């Protein structure tokens, strides 16, 4: 999949963002793989709510769309943001980093339109289920 083409699609997708409060629009594309080895691309935008705690980030929307279609291995995330119509540099929030960690590995590449960075550099010690003690029953 051509990274420049995906970035252009993500930029176009910014218009679908619902950001009436912050005016900060974000679009993301999650490139994911299913169990058959098929690759899919899933777009998402940020969706705000007047109760800010209910706002959802573009990265999570994109990843959750992929997971809901059976794609559970995250390979790459392309991310773009605009403020007042100008493209700005942005990085995923902590919640999105943790979701990326859940479905990806340290080498997952995140491209924000300005830089490429590996998930392991951005979020070096994400939480894994293996960190939890085993449940021993009642």
Q: Which positions are annotated as active-site residues?
A: 59
Place of tokens 């679908």: 16
- What b/e sequence results for 19-48 when a residue is b if at least 16 CB atoms lie within 10 Å of its CB, and e otherwise? beeeeebbbbbbbbeeeeeeebbbbbbbbb
Is there a contact between 95 and 57 (Cβ–Cβ < 8 Å)?
Answer: yes
């Amino acid at each position: 999949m051509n990274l420049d083409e995906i970035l252009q699609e993500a930029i176009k997708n910014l218009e679908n963002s619902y950001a009436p409060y912050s005016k900060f629009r974000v679009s993301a594309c999650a490139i994911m793989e299913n169990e058959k080895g098929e690759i899919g691309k899933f777009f998402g935008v940020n969706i705000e709510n007047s109760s800010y705690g209910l706002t959802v980030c573009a990265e999570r929307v994109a990843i959750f769309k992929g997971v809901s279609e059976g794609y559970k291995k995250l390979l790459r995330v392309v991310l773009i943001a605009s403020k007042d119509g100008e493209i700005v540099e942005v990085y995923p929030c902590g919640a999105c980093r943790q979701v990326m960690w859940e479905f990806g590995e340290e080498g997952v590449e995140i491209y924000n339109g300005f830089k490429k960075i590996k998930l392991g550099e951005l979020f070096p010690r994400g939480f894994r289920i293996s960190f939890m003690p085993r449940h021993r029953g009642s």
